[in-house]
């Protein structure tokens, strides 16, 4: 079958590829950069073996650790024999011999004796040399130490001027922080200057690198403490509350005692100390009851579904208006909260001045007064209704007679008089405030609350 032109071209390409495969394999095995060929001199160019041997022997005679090595040179091949103290000396001898012109190769037949004197003597000589160099460097070391002490003491004195830092920064916590930073910076500068003077740049780099790595490790280890520390700085700048203010931080309520560099100290309304980490305080929702003395109270009262709720609200507001601790401006309000199956729930709201009245006492007395007023006005405060189911047959007439004989109607109570209302003590309880003042006066712990700074 005759071949087409396309098939002929395909066969030719295959033959060319087969011819190139050996060349490709050889090129793949060869390295990218072949090593330079070693030049071996001809007989006419070879230096005298005796000259090479004399030269190597002369060099070894000047080195104490190589004096016992024997050298033999034939046709450029150097054979080293004899004994040395350790392998380092043997390697050194081979390197020296291989550097000479005319040496083709070096045969190492040196015996490593590993004797004590040959190995200890170089160490002693090195130690003596270092001690002599340290002795010569004593004046320079003394100057470096003197500069270190002078710079460190100058930084310590500058950091101890707290009056200057407090006057510049207007914040005791920041002043103390900057003071410590100045002291640490002075020590670091003194160390760098001292090491640079004596030429210990490598040691200085090692120390700085180690300090950096140590700083990263310590930072990860005390990240919670660092967060707390930074929160203390922000709280001291923001001043979110004052001492003796009634606050709620998250779910914790109490009077503020002080703000320290680590925690906010509260005295709970039960008279107990409560320390909250500043990191939690900075992120928490803070409710301050003392910032605005006017505070609104509210309570719910229910009347019967058949009663008039508007009349009940009017009567209740009138009773609230008779209370001296309820503010007239803003005035008390009332509205229908919900309508149930058997009652109507009314919500009453009023305002009190917390600086002159205790909030809880005032709210309790307002509830009692409004309730008595509604009952005196003939309004029924409904009780819960229960549905009873009897499995056996009962006499409905007997149940009705029992209910009629057992039902007792309560006589409406007399409305409270003004004298009775005034007799109720709603003055604020200052016992916790006195305890906070005593605590602040007795404790010498630093307080970051500054009454001279504006409150956030």
Query: Which tens digits make up the pLDDT trace of 112-164?
Result: 777 666 667 777 777 888 788 777 777 877 887 888 888 889 888 888 887 88
- Tell me whether strands 69-74 and 77-84 are parallel, antiparallel or unpaired: antiparallel
Closest to 263 measured CA to CA, from 218, 221, 223, 225: 225
pLDDT at position 29: 44
Query: Residue 438's pLDDT band (boundaries 50, 70, 90)?
Result: confident
Average pLDDT on 78-104 reads 86
Write down the pLDDT at residue 17. 46
Q: Taking a C-beta distance cutoff of 8 angstroms, is the pair 69, 93 a contact? A: yes
**Number of other residues whose CB lies within 10 A of the CB of residue 6:** 7
pTM for the model stands at 0.54
| Mean local confidence (pLDDT), 297-312 | 91
What crossing angle do the helices spanning 172-197 and 223-238 adopt, rounded to 10°?
A: 130
User: How much is the pLDDT for 9?
Assistant: 44
User: Rounded to whole angstroms, how far apart are CA atoms 264 and 275?
Assistant: 6
pLDDT at 248 over 50: yes
CATH number of the 232-290+436-442 domain: 2.30.30.60
Mean pLDDT (the chain) is 78
414 sits in the region (left: phi over 0; alpha: psi -120 to 50; else beta) called beta
- The pLDDT, as a whole number, for residue 117 is 62
The residues with which 80 forms a beta bridge, in sequence order, are 71, 108
pLDDT of residue 65: 80
One of 1.10.540.10, 3.30.70.100, 3.30.930.10, 2.120.10.30 is the CATH number of 294-385+410-423, namely 3.30.70.100
Cis peptide before 407 (omega within 30 of 0): no
What digits encode the pLDDT tens for the residues 174-233? 777 788 888 888 888 888 887 777 776 666 677 777 777 777 776 666 667 778 888 888
Mean pLDDT in residue range 68-85: 86
Q: How far is CA 357 from CA 52, 267, 437, in A?
A: 114, 20, 20
What is residue 44's predicted lDDT score, i.e. its pLDDT? Answer: 52
**For the chain, percent of residues with pLDDT exceeding 90:** 21
Q: Could you tell me where the DSSP H helices lie in 325-382?
A: 359-376
Q: Answer whether residue 60 shows pLDDT above 90.
A: no
Residue 93 tokens read as 């001898």
| For the chain, domain boundaries | 49-116, 138-221, 232-290+436-442, 294-385+410-423
CA distance 141 to 138: 5
Q: Quick one: pLDDT band at residue 390, thresholds 50, 70, 90?
A: low
Residue 228 is predicted with a pLDDT of 81
DSSP state of 322: T
Q: 3-state DSSP call for residue 82?
A: strand
Residue 295: strand pairing partners? 352
- Choices 3.40.50.300, 1.10.340.30, 3.30.70.2210, 3.40.50.2300: CATH for 49-116: 3.30.70.2210
Band (419; pLDDT cuts 50, 70, 90): low
232-290+436-442 matches 294-385+410-423 in fold: no
Q: What is the pLDDT of residues 268-291, one digit of tens each?
A: 998 899 999 999 999 999 999 988
Indicate whether 68 pLDDT > 90: no
> Which residues neighbour 323 within 8 Å (Cβ) at sequence distance 6 or greater?
350, 362, 365, 366, 369, 421
* 241 token code pair: 């509350």
CA atoms within 13 A on the CB side of 21: 6
CA 225, CA 219: separation in Å to the nearest integer? Answer: 9
| Spatial distance between the Cα atoms of 21 and 250, rounded to a whole number of angstroms | 81
Res. 298 pLDDT band, cuts 50 70 90 = very high
């Amino acid at each position: 079958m005759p071949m087409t032109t396309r098939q002929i071209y395909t066969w030719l390409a295959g033959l060319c590829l087969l011819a190139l495969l050996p060349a490709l394999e050889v090129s793949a095995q060869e390295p990218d950069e072949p090593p330079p060929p070693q030049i071996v001199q001809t007989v006419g160019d070879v230096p005298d073996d005796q000259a090479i041997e004399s030269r190597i022997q002369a060099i070894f005679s000047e080195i104490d650790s190589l004096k016992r090595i024997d050298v033999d040179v034939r046709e450029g091949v150097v054979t080293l024999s004899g004994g040395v103290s350790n392998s380092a000396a043997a390697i050194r001898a081979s390197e020296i011999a291989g550097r000479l012109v005319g040496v083709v190769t070096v045969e190492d037949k040196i015996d490593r004796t590993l004797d004590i004197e040959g190995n200890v003597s170089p160490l002693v000589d090195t130690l003596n040399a270092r001690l002599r160099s340290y002795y010569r460097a004593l004046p320079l070391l003394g100057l470096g130490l003197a500069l270190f002490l002078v710079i460190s003491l100058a930084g310590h004195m500058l950091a101890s001027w707290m009056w200057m830092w407090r006057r510049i920064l207007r914040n005791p916590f920041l002043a103390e922080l900057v003071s410590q930073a100045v002291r640490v910076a002075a020590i670091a500068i003194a160390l760098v200057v001292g090491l640079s003077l004596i030429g210990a740049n490598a040691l200085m780099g090692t120390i700085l690198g180690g300090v950096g790595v140590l700083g990263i490790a310590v930072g990860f280890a005390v990240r919670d403490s660092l967060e707390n520390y930074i929160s203390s700085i922000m709280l001291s700048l923001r001043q979110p509350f004052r001492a003796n203010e009634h606050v709620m931080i998250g779910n914790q309520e109490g009077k503020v005692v002080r703000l320290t560099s680590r925690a906010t100290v509260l005295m709970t309304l039960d008279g107990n100390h409560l320390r909250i980490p500043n990191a939690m305080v900075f992120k928490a929702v803070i409710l301050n009851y003392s910032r605005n003395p006017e505070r609104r109270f509210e309570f719910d009262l229910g009347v019967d579904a058949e009663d008039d709720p508007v009349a009940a609200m009017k009567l209740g507001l009138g009773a609230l208006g008779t209370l001296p601790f309820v503010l007239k401006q803003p005035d008390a309000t009332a509205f229908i909260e919900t309508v149930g199956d058997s009652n109507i729930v009314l919500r009453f709201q009023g305002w009190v001045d917390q600086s002159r009245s205790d909030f809880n006492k005032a709210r309790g007395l307002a509830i009692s007064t409004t309730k008595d007023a509604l009952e005196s006005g003939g309004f029924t405060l409904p009780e819960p209704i229960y549905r009873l189911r009897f499995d056996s047959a009962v006499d409905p007439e007997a149940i009705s007679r029992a209910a009629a004989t057992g039902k007792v109607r309560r006589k409406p109570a007399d409305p409270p008089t003004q004298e009775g209302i005034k007799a109720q003590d709603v003055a604020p309880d200052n016992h916790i405030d006195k305890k906070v003042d005593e605590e602040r006066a007795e404790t010498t712990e630093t307080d970051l609350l500054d009454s001279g700074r504006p409150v956030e």
